[in-house]
Chains A and B, each alone.
Chain A
Amino acid sequence: MSFEWLNPYHLQVGSFILINVLLGISIYVTLATGQLSLGNAGFMSIGAYASAILTTQHGFSIPSAIVIGSLLAGVSGILVGIPALRLRGVYLAIATLGFGEVLRVVFINWESLTGGAVGIAAIPQMGREILAAVEAAGFSPEDWGLRNNQFISLSIFLILAAVVVLAILFFLRLFSSRVGRAYTAIRMDETAAETSGIDTTYYKVLAFSQGALLSGQPGRFHVSPRGGDPGVRRLRRKRGPLRPGLRGDAPYPAPRAAPGDQRLPVHHLRNPRRPDDGLPAPGTDRSRPGRAADRRKAAGRILR
C-alpha cells in the first residue's frame, strides 16, 4: 500500500488547523460563562515557553513537558481569573488583552530565560522523537509505506487530532453536566444564577482556568511542528485564536477552525517547495523568526 499522495506540507497545514481548533475551544470555554478573554495568547505563550524551556534546559521528556506547561497555564488562568471577577464585558476583554501584552513584553525582555526576541532554538520535535522511538523498537515507517517525513507529519497530525477529539468530547460532556449548566446560567444572568445557589466565583474562575489550560496545550504543539521559537509570533496570535472561538451564543462548542490563519502558512506558501524533509531541522529555521523579530524590533523602534 502506498501513501504517495500524503503530502507532509498539507499535514502540517492540517496540524495548524487543529491547533486553531483547540484555541477556539479554549476561548469558547471561558466565553461560556459570558467572559470574553483576549489573553489566551498569553496563556498559550506560558505553556509554550514552559514546555520549551523544560525540554531544552532541564531534560524533561516532551509529554511531561506538555502536561506541566498546560498545568502552569491553567494555574496562571486561576491567578488571572480571580481579579478578573471584578470586570465585565468589554472591560474584561481589555484587561485580559493588557495581561497578554504585559506577558509578551516580559518574555521579550527576560532574555536569560527566554532568549528575548530571538527565542529558543533547537527545541526537540515531537515527530522526530516518535520516529526515533519507533525505529528503536525495531520498526521502520517504510514497513507501512511511509517516508520518514510523511511519518513525522502524520504522527503529529494524528496526535493533535486525538487531542482535539478528546477536548471536544470532554467539553460536550461538560456542557451537559452540572458544571456546564452552571456556566450557562451564569452567562444568561449572573445575579439570578447566584440567587439560585450557584457559586459564581468558583465557576467563573474554573472556566477561566480551563480555557487557560487548554490554550497552554497547543502552545507546545505549536512549537513542535516547527521547531522554531515560541515567542516571536505571539503578537499575531493574540487575535488569531479569537476568530474560531467567537460564535455568539451558540449552545455547543462548534468551533470553526481558521485555516486561513494567515501568519503561519504564509511562510510555506511563499516557499511551497520545502526541503525534502518537510520539517525544518531544529535550529536551522531561524531565519524567519529572526526576520520577524527584526521586523517587530523595527516596529518597536518606530513608535519609540
Chain B
Amino acid sequence: MSKKEHGPSLYYATDKNVFDALNLHKVDNPTVMELFQGRNIIVGKKNSREELARHFSRLTHDYYDHKIIANRLGISPRRERVTSMDVVTEEGFDDIKVSIEEYKKELEDSGEVVHVTRDGDSLSLNIQYSTIDYKKNELSQVQVRDGTIEFVKTDNGFTVRNTENEHLTGARDTLLGKIEKGSEKTLEKIEVSLADITSHKLRSKFFHELMLNLPGYTFKDATSVYVYKAIPEVDEEDDATDVDTHIDRIALRGKGVSRSEILNDLLDDEDFYIIKVGWKTKEDLGSGHIYDIEATFTNPKDCVGFSFILNGVFPYEDGKISSKRRSPMKAEITSISHDVEAKSRELVRVLRMESEKENE
C-alpha cells in the first residue's frame, strides 16, 4: 500500500478558523441559519454576517458543524478534461478483472471509494479520493474529488480513457502495470503525443486540422487559441547569460481567432506554436447541436499529455440553435471523445510522415 503524502488536515478548528470561514462568500445565509438553528437560535437575513460569525465562533462546535461549513467551502464540482490511450493486448475484460479487483482493494484500504461498473463493451472505475491543499482556508484544505478510468474494448485491445489529473493518471498507470504483470506480456501503449514532431508549424497544424476537419462535424468558430514558445535553455557550463525578457504563452480569445493576423504573425514571425484550442463545431447528422470543445497538451514544451473536454452544448431547439449552453450528456461525451480521439491519432500518424519528409 502506498504511503499517504500528507497527514490529516485539521484535528480541530479554532474559533479563528470558524470566524474566517463563516465570513467567506461561499458560505450562504441558509447555512449560517442552519448552524444557529441547531442551537435554538433564530437569526434574520439582515443580521450582520460578521456579527453572526463572531458570536458563533465563540460557541462550542462539533464535527458536524465543521462538516456543514466545510461542505459549503468545498470546490464546486467542475468537470475535468479527459485523456486517453490505446492499449494493444489480447486480454479481454475477464482477464483484466483480477487486476482491477486487486487494485480496487488497495485503493479502498487507503481510504478511497471505488465503484466498478460494466456496460457492454465498456468497464468503468469511478474513484472518489481526497486531496489536500495547504494554501486554502483551514476548513477547505481537504477536498473530496472523483474521477473515472474507463476501458473500452476495441479490435486490438482497449481504449483507456481517464480524467486528466495527476491522481487519476497515476492510478491508470498503476492499474496498467498490474494488468501487464498479470498477463506476463508487455502492453503496447499508444498515446497522442507530438514529442517527436519538433516542427512548430506541424505542431500548430495538429490543432488547426483537428478543429477544421473533424469528420462528421462542420467547424463553426475558433473561440480561443493559446500559443507557446519555450524559454531557450541556457547551458550552465556555457558563458551565456539568462534570458531577461521572454513571453512563453499568449492566450487569444474572440471570434475567428484561427484566421486572425495576430495569431499567424505569432506563428510565422515569432516562432510560437499552438498548444490549446477551444472551438465550436456543429454535428452534421443527428440533432444538429453545436458543441463547445477544448483540447490541449498538458506538457506544452514536449506536446505530450493530450486531453480534451466537451465544455457544453448549444442545443438545436424549436428550429434554432439555443444561445443557452447546457452541460453535455453522457452519450454526447462518449461520441465526441471517440471522434476527437480517432482524428487526433490519425493526425499524429499523418504529421509524423510529414515530419519525416521534412527531415529528409
Q: Are both chains from one complex? A: no
Residues of B within 8 A of A (CB): none
